[in-house]
């Protein structure tokens, strides 16, 4: 996420067409053979790690496949960009280059999370190097250097300091939780603090009307603290937190199932306005009249988060989008829509870390692999009856 711009505004979420109601199945075929035959290093490793039953994994396969992941081109391409400081791009949140914000490359948090998605273990050197920086951000260390891409903005607008630190702490908590550092007291403490803030918003009166007038437009209420892509990812990765705060987790799931606002709005802090691209004020999935998601990678990422949280049953648009994608699976469970000619396009940079996992090897099957794998993973997360083929 780039530093705030005084004139930035969030783009409208656009219309969401409900389409015909499509019922979700309760079973799914997992195409293990097909994924192992057509997937690259990451897909083969994660198919055995995340999808296959234990008895279906040959002895030594996981170790060999993980070694191949570490030497793969996608992992090496990310790892080689990391500096000795543990940083990527000299920024923390940048999802894509932004010349105006001085961001030359994707930042540390999305690169860290991308390595995790590619199958790099938490103990690998690139992640251990980054951990040193991430835990400092999570601490109360007030070193100005820890504001990274926000440093220049904060010199001109110091009132944004708490806001900037809050966004960074949410992002760091999500990354460390996804890396498996669930029992670290620093991660648990940050997780509960973030949950407290979101819970207070969900239980308060502002949740029904979270906007105030700002000139000719709208701004988020200054006391509102809605969930974000980062806080939701953190909560999805922390089952213990969800069990300890079951009521909060359920309220959050219902909130994330509602339609997102269609009108654009900004965040205002003492005269500074920022685009709230990281916030989630409802279901971000846009579908057409047939319930086909317009951004398939975003839809799959959001559906996976809801599935991990046990909240998909409350989300009608996400459920219809999933049902529509599953309808395009063949008898083996391979996603194969009619007339597909190119890779599903990712329009939202928040899916950078998760898509694609498959390299383009110029074979027609390559463009089907990512969606096929995600649909299988979602089916397993939902606890459906699985048939392995």
Residue bearing the bigger pLDDT, 6 or 56? 56
- pLDDT, tens digit, 9 for 90 and up, residues 358-388: 998 888 899 999 999 999 999 999 999 999 9
pTM attached to this predicted model = 0.92
Q: Is 90 exceeded by the pLDDT of residue 159?
A: no
Average pLDDT over residues 212-224: 93
User: What pLDDT band is residue 103 in, cutting at 50, 70 and 90?
Assistant: confident
Buried b (16+ CB within 10 A) or exposed e, 195-214: bebbbebbeeebbeebbeee
pLDDT of residue 279: 97
Percent of the chain with pLDDT over 90: 80
Q: Is 70 exceeded by the pLDDT of residue 177?
A: yes
pLDDT of residue 169: 97
pLDDT of residue 66: 97
- pLDDT, tens digit, 9 for 90 and up, residues 34-47: 999 999 999 999 99
**DSSP bridge partners of 274:** 267
Q: Is 80 exceeded by the pLDDT of residue 100?
A: no
pLDDT of residue 3: 41
Euclidean distance between CA atoms 386 and 28, whole angstroms: 5
SS (H, E, C) the chain: CCCCCCCCCCCCCCCCCCCCCCCCCCEEEECHHHHHHHCCHHHHHHHHHHHCCHHHCCCCHHHHHHHHHHCCHHHHHHHCCCCCCCCECCECCCCCCECCCCECCCCHHHHHHHHHHHCCCCCCHHHHHHHHHHHHHHCCCCCHHHHHHHHHHHHHCHHHHHHHHHHHHHHHHHHHHHCCCCCCHHHHHHHHHHHHHHHHHHHCHHHHCCEEEECCEEEECCCCCCCEHHHHHHHHCCHHHHHHCHHHHHHHHHHHHCECCCCCCEEEECCEEECCCCECCCECCCECCCCCECCHHHHHHHHHHHHHHCCHHHCHHHHHHHHHHHHCECCCCCECCCCCCCCCCCCCHHHCCCCCCCCCCCCCCHHHHHHHHHHHHHHHHCCCEEEEC
Q: What is the average pLDDT value for the chain, to the nearest integer?
A: 92
Let me know the angle formed at the C-alpha of 171 by 166 and 174, rounded to the nearest 5 degrees.
125
CA 155, 160, 162, 167 torsion: positive or negative? Answer: negative
Q: Is 80 exceeded by the pLDDT of residue 192?
A: yes
Euclidean distance between CA atoms 7 and 273, whole angstroms: 6
Q: Is 80 exceeded by the pLDDT of residue 99?
A: no
CB 320 within 8 A of CB 299: no
- pLDDT, tens digit, 9 for 90 and up, residues 222-247: 999 999 999 999 999 999 999 999 99
- pLDDT, tens digit, 9 for 90 and up, residues 259-304: 999 889 999 988 788 888 999 999 999 999 999 999 999 999 999 9
Average pLDDT over residues 156-173: 93
Q: Is 70 exceeded by the pLDDT of residue 10?
A: no
Q: Residue 250's closest CA among 298, 189, 203, 289?
A: 203
- pLDDT, tens digit, 9 for 90 and up, residues 119-151: 999 999 999 999 999 999 999 888 989 999 998
Residue with tokens 């997780």: 191
User: What pLDDT band is residue 327 in, cutting at 50, 70 and 90?
Assistant: very high
Q: Is 80 exceeded by the pLDDT of residue 305?
A: yes
Q: Is 80 exceeded by the pLDDT of residue 20?
A: no
pLDDT of residue 22: 57
Average pLDDT over residues 342-357: 95
pLDDT of residue 273: 85
| Least confident piece of the model among 15-24, 95-104, 290-299, 357-366 | 15-24
What number of other Cβ atoms are within 10 A of residue 364's Cβ?
A: 10
Residue bearing the bigger pLDDT, 1 or 64? 64
pLDDT of residue 216: 87
Let me know the angle formed at the C-alpha of 218 by 217 and 223, rounded to the nearest 5 degrees.
155
């Amino acid at each position: 996420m780039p530093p705030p711009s005084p004139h930035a505004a969030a783009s409208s979420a656009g219309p969401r067409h409900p389409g015909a109601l499509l019922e979700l199945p309760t079973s799914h075929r997992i195409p293990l053979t097909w994924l192992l035959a057509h997937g690259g290093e990451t897909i083969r490793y994660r198919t055995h790690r995340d999808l296959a039953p234990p008895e279906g994994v040959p002895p030594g396969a996981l170790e060999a496949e993980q070694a191949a992941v570490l030497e793969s081109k996608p992992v090496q391409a990310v790892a080689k960009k990391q500096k000795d400081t543990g940083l990527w791009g000299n920024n923390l949140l940048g999802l894509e280059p932004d010349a105006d914000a001085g961001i030359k490359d994707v930042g540390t948090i999305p690169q860290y999370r991308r390595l995790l998605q590619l199958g790099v273990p938490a103990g690998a050197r690139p992640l251990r190097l980054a951990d040193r920086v991430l835990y400092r951000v999570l601490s109360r260390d007030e070193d100005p250097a820890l504001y990274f891409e926000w440093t220049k903005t904060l010199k001109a607008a110091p009132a944004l300091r708490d806001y900037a630190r809050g966004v960074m702490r949410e992002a760091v908590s999500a990354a460390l939780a996804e890396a498996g550092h669930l029992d670290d007291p620093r991660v648990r403490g940050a997780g509960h603090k973030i949950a407290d803030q979101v819970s207070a918003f969900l239980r308060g009166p502002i949740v029904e009307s979270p906007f105030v007038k700002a000139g000719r437009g709208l701004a988020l209420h200054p006391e509102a603290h809605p969930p974000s892509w980062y806080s939701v990812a953190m909560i999805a990765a922390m089952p213990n937190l969800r069990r300890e705060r079951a009521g909060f987790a359920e309220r959050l799931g219902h909130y994330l199932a509602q339609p997102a606002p269609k009108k654009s709005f900004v965040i205002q802090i003492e005269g500074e306005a920022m685009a709230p691209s990281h916030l989630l004020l409802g279901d971000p999935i846009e579908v057409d009249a047939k319930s086909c998601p317009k951004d398939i990678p975003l839809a799959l990422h959001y559906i996976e988060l809801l599935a991990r949280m046990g909240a998909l049953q409350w989300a009608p648009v996400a459920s219809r989008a999933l049902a529509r994608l599953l309808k395009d699976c063949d008898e083996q469970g391979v996603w194969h829509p009619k007339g597909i000619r190119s890779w599903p396009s990712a329009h939202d940079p928040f899916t950078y870390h998760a898509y694609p996992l498959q390299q383009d090897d110029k074979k027609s099957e390559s463009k089907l692999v990512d969606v096929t794998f995600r649909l299988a993973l979602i089916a397993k997360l939902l606890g459906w009856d699985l048939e392995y083929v």
